Amino acid sequence: MSGFSDAPVELTGEEAKMLLSIQRYYKKNAQFISNVKIREFLKKHDISVESAEFLALQNAYIKMKYIRGIFHQMIKEYEYFKKKEHPSADLVFQKNLEEMRRVMKLRNYSFKTIKQYGNILIHCYIWLKETFKKRLDECDESEIIDYVYYCVEERKISHVYVRILRAALLFYFEQILRKPVEFHALIKIKKKKKLPDILTKNEVNLLLAQISNTKHKLLISLMYSSGLRVSETLKIKTGDVCLESKTIRVRQGKGKKDRVSIISDKQLELFEVLMRGKRADEYLIESSQKKGDPLAVRTAQRIFETALKKSGIQKKASCHTLRHSFATHLLENGTDVRMIQKLLGHKSITTTSIYTKISRASLKNVISPL
């Protein structure tokens, strides 16, 4: 185990062999190898859930206290498919699912979308099998619509999720099964016209005042000052920041698009502290526990939630509220809506125009008749 993990843990010969094998394969310590990579490694080496190698690697991770949910997930999937009446058919579905993931990866879909489509189809498959005793590919359109209706009524899914669900089903049927489908009932779903919540400038300052950690303060302030999504903020590398021009490059944001946004004079000192001694290809906001990796999205969200609670602000807010606040405050300051569209990376001006309905600037000169 020399050169990789130095933890004084007693592993069996097979456990040590499997741990060393995956570390050599990815050229990194096992604690930095993600769930996705573990699944990829097991598939690449034809290691099944029933095999001694799978058990050895799982035990090694447990003994090393590297928490990974992929082992339990794969066992759960295996046990479900194994106990069904037609295991061969279930294995066909698994094969189709893997093919879908492969095709999506080749077409440059994001990891988040690939994972989301997979989870949707697994849940749909299980519900249809238990409800109609049929496989997904055997069900007609009305039976699949019954599943969507169940999701809306029982699981209380949003109209946005229904659209994602339809997209996942269409992709699976048309691109993998080569079966033309329409799902007419899911076309033109009525959207809820809901205005996004925002924080006032004073509330943003109050929120930031609760944070003393330099890294955490830059993380939260960057989402507001540059209008970044939390995932975009965490992908920023030192080389993406130009302190001289006070700009920041967002690489491969939503829709796989690059864009440039602004940074504030008030942040320059924070940037200088965090950028000091870092190479251009290193993450600006790095994880303390996994060196070389960005901070996890959930950790960033917890930092925001803690600061919000400490501030005493009673509004229902999230990291994304800072992005909404950025756009609204720029509009109130007189920034052209098309410039805001570019800074946010919106494809359509219609998406950006929502902030004209939130802006309070136009209401200041209106007096109530009461």
Q: Is 66 a catalytic residue?
A: no
Q: Between the CA of residue 159 and those of 115, 164, 193, 300, what are the distances in Å?
A: 19, 9, 11, 27
Q: What is the DSSP letter of 315?
A: S
Contact criterion met (CB below 8 Å) for 96 and 176: yes
Catalytic choice (17, 163, 251, 254): 254
Q: Rounded to an integer, what distance in angstroms lies between the CA atom of residue 81 and that of residue 90?
A: 6
Catalytic choice (129, 217, 324, 346): 346
Q: Is 86 a catalytic residue?
A: no
Q: Is 100 exposed, middle or buried (0-12, 13-18, 19+ CB in 10 A)?
A: buried
Contact criterion met (CB below 8 Å) for 59 and 68: no
Q: Which two tokens stand for residue 32?
A: 């930095």
Angle at CA 49, nearest 5°, toward 44 and 55? 100
Cβ–Cβ contacts within 10 Å for residue 148, how many?
A: 19
Contacts of 74 (CB under 8 A, 6+ apart): 39, 42, 49, 54
Q: Is 324 a catalytic residue?
A: no
Q: Is 251 a catalytic residue?
A: no
Q: Is 215 a catalytic residue?
A: no
Catalytic choice (68, 323, 324, 329): 323
**Which stretch of DSSP H or E encloses residue 250?**
strand 247-250
Note the Cα 312 to chain centre separation in Å. Answer: 28
The residue type of 13 is G
Beta bridge partners of 262: 247
Q: Is 346 exposed, middle or buried (0-12, 13-18, 19+ CB in 10 A)?
A: buried
Catalytic choice (229, 291, 315, 357): 229
Note the Cα 137 to chain centre separation in Å. Answer: 29
Q: Between the CA of residue 110 and those of 106, 252, 253, 315, 348, what are the distances in Å?
A: 10, 10, 10, 32, 21
Q: Rounded to an integer, what distance in angstroms lies between the CA atom of residue 86 and that of residue 77?
A: 15
Contact criterion met (CB below 8 Å) for 162 and 190: no
Q: Is 355 a catalytic residue?
A: yes
Tell me the CB-side half-sphere exposure of residue 248, using CA atoms within 13 A: 26
Q: Which residues are catalytic?
A: 229, 254, 320, 323, 346, 355
